Chain A
Amino acid sequence: MPDTLLFAMEATLNGLTAGVMYALVALGFVLIFKASGIFNFAQGVLALFAALTLVGFQSGQIPFSHLINAIFGTRLHHFGWNMPTVLAIPATVLVMILLAILIERYILKHLVNQEPIILFMATIGLAYFLEGLGDVMWGAEVKALDVGLPKGMSSAVDEATFAWFGYGFYIDRLELWAAGIAAILVASLTIFSQYTKQGRALRAVADDHQAALSVGISLRFIWVLTWSIAGIVALVAGIMWGSKSGVQFSLSLIALKALPVLILGGFTSIPGAIVGGLIIGVGEKLFDFFMQPIIGGATENWFAYMLALVFLLFRPQGLFGERIIERV
């Protein structure tokens, strides 16, 4: 087999696994958009905040220690214990649920029946607030996150491909795990939304507020539920990205990479988020692979946005989104 084809195949595989990571972030957006029609700008920061909280719990950091030290002149920093991951993750989930309750109570409740653009602006505010809160609570330094997921080259893939093609593919084990976890996440979200009462209620609220109220659905409960789920999905994305590149504030910028994924997949489709993520991931890697000799490197920085732009021109609703029909 010619080398170019092998390299292209490896790039494709790498693209697929990278795409899963993008899809993880995009999922959180789709969930909230489907349930409330809000484009949640804070989703990336939510992932950052979740990851920061998880690391904080794991390493036994005292929240707000900088603030407390500055006011009282103390020198607090750690409780002196390490929380095992199996405890730290549920604890973080609880924090995300608490956050969802607070968001509903102090933001969404007051913006019922407002234009989507106003809710969108509110989530921008929320994003900045959460970023600041994360900073004050847990400190701004880059932290390593280790929840026990394997990292580095997958030797199984390497050996298998070497045996077949005489060339070993490099696949990061973390990204393989991410793919598996994303699959479980999507499966459980699908089961939840299709087969449970709460899922049905969630879809109902997304569709029509007034009708939902008339069949006895509490909007406020559903919003808390939606934001809790989005928080948990953000935690998963935060764990994956945090394990890969450390928990740092640039993590909130992965939200920007989710945008082209959403434009491709459609804002309202969970499978769309996955497929969109995969297309962006593979497209990026292959474009880089084939075009690098001609136009130089670093195409990954802009390829996704260019692809999104092309999609906006020809299929603005995305691959799987609901068709936009204007009735007159």
Chain B
Amino acid sequence: MLDTQKDEGYTTADGRKIGGVAMEMRNITLRFGGVVAIKDISFDIRWGEIRAIIGPNGAGKSSMLNVISGSYHPQEGDVIYKGYKRPKMRPYQVARMGIARTFQNIALFEGMSVLDNIMTGRLHHMKANLFQQAMWWGKAEREETENRAQVEKIIDFLEIQHIRKTPVSRLPYGLKKRVELARALAAEPSILLLDEPMAGMNVEEKEDMSRFILDVNDEFGTTTVLIEHDMGVVMDLSDRVVVMDYGKKIGDGTPDEVRNNEEVIKAYLGVAHE
């Protein structure tokens, strides 16, 4: 166990309990050849909070998320998860450690139904052996029932009962995003990573999605890290915000602190966006 901040967290104004440090990024530097995507960035993520990473295009937000999810391996710096330094891992291993994610350009299994897609989120909760599964016998039956119950709960929660049997390829964009969130939630993640969950949505869809992110956090206490362009949304949703620009961290704090940060205003809020 490393000496990460041992504090017990705090309670927010609206009465939500924020815990201690879940994950800590220490001096992360990520380079692609000569291009430095992330320059010596450190920040932490607390249990139960909604943590946003914002910044203009090309600021390195997605790269940061990919470092957390194990898709990119930083040249320098450490990822401390649950108090231990995380060794170099492949994305599927990171996923098995309880870090689920969604993608900017939706990565769903287009050929499968909504239900099947969400069930894949529970793959590593299944422990029965091949024979038991094929024969629907012993542990397999119990597991499948448990998994189905969990999946149904999420389907209910995200209000997608009416499309549960529909092939994903037939769904409109906004619903696909919601199914992707459902699949990530099905894994019962410790940390949920959302890469631009509201990109390309209309106002109504954005409101729905914001509500779901808040409700998920409220109901399951899921620690959420999200990247978002829409400033209004980010400020309303998140407990704390990291601001990046050209691969560097230029601000970190509550939405109000960030909003009043000179450098942030200059780099991001000051320029018209969208």
Interface residues of A (CB under 8 A from B): 188, 191-192, 195-198, 200-201, 203-204, 206-208, 210-219, 322
Contacts and interface: CB of A to CB of B under 8 A. Distances in A.
Contacts, number: 83
Counting chain B residues whose Cβ lies within 8 A of the other chain, the interface size class is: 20 to 34
Contacts of A196: 130, 133-134
B116 interface: yes
Given A204-B109, A207-B111, A215 B100 contact: yes
B133 A215 contact: no
Nearest to A188: B134
B136 interface: yes
B72 interface: no
A200 B140 CA distance: 14
B109 A213 contact: no
21 contacts: A196-B134, A197-B126, A197-B133, A200-B119, A201-B120, A203-B116, A206-B111, A207-B111, A211-B107, A211-B109, A212-B120, A213-B91, A214-B95, A214-B101, A214-B184, A215-B100, A215-B123, A217-B92, A217-B120, A218-B92, A219-B92
Contacts of B246: none
B69 interface: yes
B142 interface: no
A314 to B, nearest CB: 24
A266 to B, nearest CB: 13
A201 B123 contact: yes
Interface of B: 69, 71, 90-93, 95-96, 100-103, 107-112, 116, 119-121, 123-124, 126, 128, 130, 133-134, 136, 183-184, 187
A198 B95 CA distance: 17
A73 B184 CA distance: 63
B110 A213 contact: no
A196 B116 CA distance: 12
A95 B20 CA distance: 52
B124 A195 contact: no
Contacts of B183: 215
Given A197-B123, A214-B103, A215-B120, A207 B95 contact: no
B92 A216 contact: yes
B136 to A, nearest CB: 7
User: Which 3 pairs across A and B sit closest by C-beta, in order of nearness?
Assistant: A216-B95, A211-B107, A207-B109
